[in-house]
Amino acid sequence: MIGQDGKSSKTNRKRQHQKTTHFDEAGIFMKTNLYLAISFNMSASMRVLPRSALRTSRLTQSLARRPFHSYDHPPPPGAFGNAEKSILAAAYKHVPEHGFSQKALSCGARDAGYLDISASVIPDGAFGLIRYHLITQREALATRSQELFPDPNQPGVSARVEALTWERLMGNKLVLDRWQEALAVMAQPSYVPESIKELAKLSDEIWFLAGDKAVDPSWYTKRATLSMIYSTSELFMTNDRSPDFFETRQFLQRRLGEVKSVGGMVGSFGQWAGYTLSAGVNILRSKGVRV
């Protein structure tokens, strides 16, 4: 009996270790989808709608309010004033050591030639520094796309979407050890609307730079789908210790491949959420979890 109990205990510990592996796709996949669903609901208006239209309408309203790309109008003004930008740029260099924090902002103000107290003029404090990272990394994609795709006809839109999404993920490398802290700040209720807005802008930028010219309802679906895929991959990357983030690249490719296997970009955000939930349940079952 003692030998059998010892063997059983060893087996249980092995199973428990498998369930808590760093690359727990099921946990990342489902938690991120739940976070996004809650976040989209918080950032949208709370009008009473039929249950079948509720989630799709909220997402559509959120995305519809963002600016669209145009070649016929001048670009909008910069997101930061001169003093604010100089402080944030200097503070950003201190993020690896101090994180997205007031300490980093104070160091940045000093480096930029201002008094330490000057950091208090940054709206939202630490979140302002996070927002600086999100905006500058998104804006950098335009230049990188020209380097990645010198031939305007090659590769196709899908390949460009994958390449640009990966390029944006790589923009987190220098602050990756601090990114889970940033995600925690972005998940605070007061910052969720702005975080979702930036995520929508990123998805739109990637599709635009990839050459997508669709003007039908799929415009919204593609951006909502890519937002979910990007967020899931970004969270996965914070736990990735593989060389050159090989596991994250595979994770991203699988998620994009799953969308295609459903039949192109799915017809609605509700369909996609349902599909990803089903996939997450199947992954949990494959790990021996009763669902």
**Rounded to whole angstroms, how far apart are CA atoms 75 and 186?**
26
pTM of the model: 0.69
**Rounded to whole angstroms, how far apart are CA atoms 242 and 74?**
43
Residue type, 124: D
Q: Which fold has domain 25-286?
A: Tetracycline Repressor; domain 2 (1.10.357)
Domain range annotation of the chain: 25-286
The dihedral over CA atoms of 268, 207, 182, 26, expressed in degrees to the nearest 10, equals 50
Q: Which of 186, 41, 207, 87 is nearest to 138 (CA)?
A: 207
- What pLDDT was estimated at residue 259? 80
- What pLDDT was estimated at residue 80? 82
- What pLDDT was estimated at residue 176? 96
**Rounded to whole angstroms, how far apart are CA atoms 266 and 251?**
19
Local confidence pLDDT in tens for the 291 residues of the chain: 445 555 454 445 444 444 434 445 544 444 454 444 444 433 333 333 333 333 344 444 444 444 455 444 445 557 787 888 999 999 999 999 999 999 999 999 999 888 766 666 777 889 999 999 999 999 999 999 999 998 878 899 999 999 999 999 999 999 999 999 999 999 999 999 999 999 999 999 999 999 988 888 888 888 989 999 999 999 999 999 999 999 999 999 999 988 876 544 444 444 545 555 555 545 445 444 454
- What pLDDT was estimated at residue 162? 96
110: left (phi over 0), alpha (psi -120 to 50) or beta: alpha
